[in-house]
Structure 1
C-alpha cells in the first residue's frame, strides 16, 4: 500500500468529529462525503473529484477496511489507489472486529492529517452508520462489549422480528426506545446491548454525540435508476467471481473460519461452492439477489439523511461534474 495510508495509525483516543482541533497555522478541516448504494459509482466518482480538487479519499465502507477483501468488497484497484492518496482501505486484520466508534477515531485522525496538507478530505462509502457516526447523527459511547451478550442478542434477532426486539427495549428502557425508530434494527440491537450490559436504564442525554458543525461537510448521495443499478450489480457480481472471489474466500477462511471479513455479501456463496453445497451459477444468482436487496436497504438509509444533496449518477461523467461543482460551491475549494 502507498506510504500515505499510514495516516490511519495516528493515535487518537476517544476521537470524534468535534475533537478535531484547530490552532494558529492549522486550516480547519472541511470534508466532502460521497455516499450511495453499492454499484452507484462512489469509488470512481470520488477518485475523479479528488483529482480535480486536490483531494484525498477516505474510506467509509465497513468491508473495504479488511485486508484480503479486494475482490469481495469491491475495493479500488492498486492502480486507482496510486492515483491520489487513499486512506483506511485494507488496513484491518480479517479476523479482527472493528466498530463504528473506532472508525470515527481513525477517520478523524486521517481527516486532520489531510487538512494539514491543505487537501480536501473526500469520504466515500456505503456504510451509513459509519457516516452517521462521523457526522454526529449516531451516539457512540457504550459499556465494554460482552461477546456472550452479543451472541444471545444475535440468537434473539434470528428468532424475532425487529419490532419485537424494539418492544423488548421499550419495556427495559422506555425513553431510549422512544428515541429509536422501531424498524431500525442496528440501533435497536445496539441499545439492547447497552441496556442489558449496564443493567440500568440508559439516559440518551448521557450519550456522546459529536457536533456536526465542528466538521464543515457537504454530503452528496448518489442516485441511480433502479433498473440501471440492477444491471450494474449483475456486472459487478460476475466480475467478482471471474476475478477470483472463490479463491479469496478460501484464503480468508484459512486465516479464521469466523473472520468478520467473511460477513461481506458473496463470501458465504463462494464458500458454498467450495464445500459442494452450491454450483457456481447458484452462487452467482444468490449473490446478485442479496446485493440487490442490500442496495435497496442502502437507498432507504440514505433517503432519510438530512441536508444531503442528491446527484443523479446514471451517467458517471455527469455525476463527477455535478459533485465537483457542488464541492466548489459549498466548501469553497478551487
Structure 2
C-alpha cells in the first residue's frame, strides 16, 4: 500500500495557499511548502509566504529553514519532503504539498535517483566561468541551440539550471526532456495531483495586484535589508521580486521600472509554470476563474480528492 499524498500545484497567485488550508481542514491534513524560495528566512513578502492568520491552525512545514546565503537543491528538497511526508502520515494525517516549483515537486513524488544523474564537474566549472565572461543571456542562447524546450522553460537568470541542462546534454547527448523520459520514473505515492488554472487575463491582473500589495506591505524594505547585509551572489536573490529590486537599489533602473519588471517577470513565470506542469505531470485541472463561487469549487476539489485517495472529509 502506497502512502496517500495530495499535491496542489499551479501558477503564482492562482489561489494554492487558500485551497491547501481549506482542504487540510476538511481532510485532516498538514501542509508542506512546495516552493523553492519559501525555505529562506527573511524573505516573507516577496515569496508570498502564508501568514499565521491564513494558516488557521494548520501546521505548515519547510518554511524558514535556510539562511538566504545558503544554497538549496532539488535533491535536498526531495530528501526533506519525503521525511515530512512520513512524519505527517505517522500522525494519522494526510500530507499535502502545495507550491509552484515543478521540478522540486516532481523529484519528490516520482522515483528520481539524483545519484544516477550524469555530472561533469570540470565542464560545469567551465560553464560557470563562461557565464561570467559572456553573460547569462548568451549562455542561455547556447542552451536554446541544443535544447530549445529547456531554454523555453528556464529563465536566463536561473543560471544554475541553464548550466545543469547544458551539462546533461554534454554528458548524454540528450536534451533534459529526453533524459528524463528515458528514466521512466514511477509514482512513489498514491497521489492526487490537483492543478489550479485561471483565465489568463484574470491571472495576470491578480499578479499585478499582488505585486502592488507586496510593495505596500514593505517588500522594498525587505529586499533592502538583504541588500544591506551584502547578500548578492546567492541563489536566493535570483528569486523574482528580489533581483528586480536589487537592480533599483544598485542604481540600474528607476523604482517604477523595477516594479514593472517585477510584474512582467511574474507573469512570464506563471506562463512557464503552466507549460511545465502540463508537459511534465498527469494533473487533474480545476479552473478557479469564478472567484465568486470559491466555496463550491473547493467542495468540488475536495470530493475529487476523497474519491481519488479514498479518504473521508470531516464536513459530513
- TM-score normalized by structure 2? 0.82
2:29 maps to which residue?
55
Find 1:308's aligned residue among 265, 270, 283.
Answer: 283
1:64 shift after superposition: 1.0
Deviation at 1:89, TM superposition (A): 1.0
Partners of 2:130 and 2:6 in 1: CA distance: 36
What SS class does the counterpart of residue 102 from structure 1 fall into? helix
Provide, for residues 128-154 of structure 1, a one-character-per-residue CA deviation record: whole Å limited to 9, x for no partner.
111221122765234486673451464
Look up the match of 1:184.
150
Matched, 1:282 2:257: yes
Distance 2:11 2:244 in 1: 21
Distance 1:153 1:86, change over 3 A: farther
Instruction: Quote the residue 1:148 is aligned against.
Output: 125
Provide closer, same or farther for how the CA distance between residues 319 and 210 of structure 1 changes in structure 2, counting only shifts above 3 A: farther
CA contact (8 A) 1:48 1:320 kept: yes
Corresponding residue for residue 158 of structure 2: none
Q: Which residue of 76, 88, 98 maps to 1:102?
A: 76
The aligned counterpart of 2:186 is 212
Change (3 A) 1:263 1:166: closer
Asked if 1:69 is matched to 2:47, the reply is no
Q: Distance in 1 between matches of 2:130 and 2:305?
A: 42
Query: In 1, Cα distance between the equivalents of 2:302 and 2:71?
Result: 35
Shift, 1:191, TM fit: 4.4
Residues in 2 aligned to 1:297 and 1:28: alpha-carbon distance in whole angstroms: 31
Q: Counterpart in 1 of 2:10?
A: 36
* Structure 1 contact 249–262 (Cα < 8 Å) conserved: no
Given the alignment of the two structures, is residue 321 of structure 1 paired with residue 295 of structure 2, yes or no? Answer: no
CA contact (8 A) 1:72 1:240 kept: yes
Q: Which sections of structure 2, spanning at least 5 residues, go unmatched?
A: 155-160
Q: Secondary structure, in 3 states, of the residue corresponding to 1:34? A: strand
Note if 1:246 corresponds to 2:212. Answer: no
Matched, 1:122 2:96: yes
Cα contact 1:166–1:188 (8 A) shared by 2: no
> Partners in 2 of 1:309 and 1:250 — Cα distance?
40
SS in 1 for 2:32: strand
* Contact in 1 for aligned 2:110/2:187 (Cα 8 Å): no
Give, in whole Å, the separation in 1 of the partners of 2:232 and 2:208.
28
Structure 1 pair 211–269 and aligned structure 2 pair: CA distance change class (3 A): closer
- Following the alignment from structure 1 to structure 2, what is the Cα–Cα distance between the partners of residues 150 and 218? 39
Question: Do structure 1's residue 266 and structure 2's residue 241 form an aligned pair?
Answer: yes
Matched-pair contact (CA < 8 Å) for 1:58–1:121: yes
Q: Give how far 1:258 is off.
A: 1.9
- Name the stretch that deviates more: 266-275 or 59-68: 266-275
1:312, distance to aligned residue in structure 2 (A): 0.9
Of 238-247 and 314-323, more deviation after overlay is shown by 314-323
In structure 2, relative to structure 1, the CA distance for the partners of 1:160 and 1:126 (3 Å cut) is same
Flag structure 1 segments of 5+ consecutive residues without an equivalent: 1-26, 169-180
Q: Could you tell me whether the CA contact under 8 Å between 1:67 and 1:94 is conserved in 2?
A: yes
Give SS of 1:97's match.
Answer: coil
Distance change (3 Å), C-alpha of 1:153 and 1:109: farther
Q: How many residues are matched?
A: 292
